[in-house]
């Protein structure tokens, strides 16, 4: 996957570049500002963009919104120090696919990137679950819910998440129970109302 990294700290950009490239991705450019990122995004046509919120010439969330309009299918990960429900909601509304804080382990950053690439149209944030998931859904149930939203069958979900078919069925059953609905369509509708999926 071709990735554009946007962060105002050169050390962070360099570290992310090394990490992503060591996991088989191609970093086509790194940018330190909104203006640079817009120019690179237009000319390099990346598959994914990893962006900080705090940039010297504007908000990374404005860049997220602009990027989503330019490329509806691009994977967008917000990687930032800002850890709060308002920021997470704003990132989701702007069109991001994943939201993760900078003190997260590298494995979680890579997982957030993989999620954004594989699940366009969905949104994931472990932090968001802590702030807003008052329905009692587990992080794994949220993962299953996102894949149901993408139209995955139970067997496809099992394959994607490396779990058994019976485990998927148990998760789906738990989701329906916790959302107090009797089918997937109603579950997705209620999840959208609560901001758990787009």
CATH 1.20.120.80 fits 133-193, yes or no: no
- Report pLDDT for 129: 47
Task: Return d(Cα 96, Cα 99) in angstroms, integer.
Answer: 7
- Report pLDDT for 134: 64
Sequential DSSP letters for 166-178? HHHHHHHHHHHHH
Token pair for 78 = 């917000």
Task: Return d(Cα 85, Cα 52) in angstroms, integer.
Answer: 16
Q: Cβ distance 190 to 179 under 8 Å?
A: yes
The domain made up of 2-124 has a fold known as Rossmann fold (3.40.50)
**Per-residue pLDDT tens over the stretch 118-168:** 876 777 776 554 444 567 888 788 888 888 988 899 999 888 788 899 999
The whole-chain average pLDDT of the chain stands at 88
What residues contact residue 158 under an 8 Å CB cut-off, 6+ apart?
164, 165, 167, 168
The single residue listed with the structure tokens 């900080």 is: 52
Q: Which of 5-9, 48-52, 185-189 has the lowest mean pLDDT?
A: 185-189
Q: Are both 2-124 and 133-193 of the same fold?
A: no
The residues spanned by each domain of the chain are: 2-124, 133-193
The single residue listed with the structure tokens 């330019």 is: 70
Task: Return d(Cα 25, Cα 1) in angstroms, integer.
Answer: 5
Task: Return d(Cα 46, Cα 32) in angstroms, integer.
Answer: 16
| Whether pLDDT at 184 is above 90 | yes
How many residues make up the chain in this entry? 198
């Amino acid at each position: 996957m071709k990735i554009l990294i946007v962060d105002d700290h050169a050390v962070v950009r360099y570290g992310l570049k090394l990490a992503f490239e060591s996991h088989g991705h191609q970093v086509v450019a790194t940018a330190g500002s909104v203006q640079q990122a817009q120019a690179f995004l237009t000319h390099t046509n990346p598959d994914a963009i990893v962006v900080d919120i705090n940039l010297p010439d504007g908000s990374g969330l404005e860049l997220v919104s602009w990027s989503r309009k330019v490329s509806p299918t691009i994977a967008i990960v917000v990687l930032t120090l800002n850890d709060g429900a308002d920021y997470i909601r704003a990132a989701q509304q702007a069109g991001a696919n994943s939201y993760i804080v900078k003190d997260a382990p590298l494995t979680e950053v890579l997982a957030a990137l993989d999620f954004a690439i594989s699940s366009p149209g969905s949104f994931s944030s472990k932090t968001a679950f802590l702030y807003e998931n008052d329905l009692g859904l587990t992080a794994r149930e949220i993962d299953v819910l996102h894949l149901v939203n993408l139209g995955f069958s139970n067997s496809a979900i099992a394959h994607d998440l490396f779990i058994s078919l019976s485990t998927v069925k148990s998760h789906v059953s738990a989701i329906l129970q916790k959302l107090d609905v009797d089918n997937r369509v109603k579950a997705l509708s209620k999840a959208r109302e609560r901001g758990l999926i787009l």
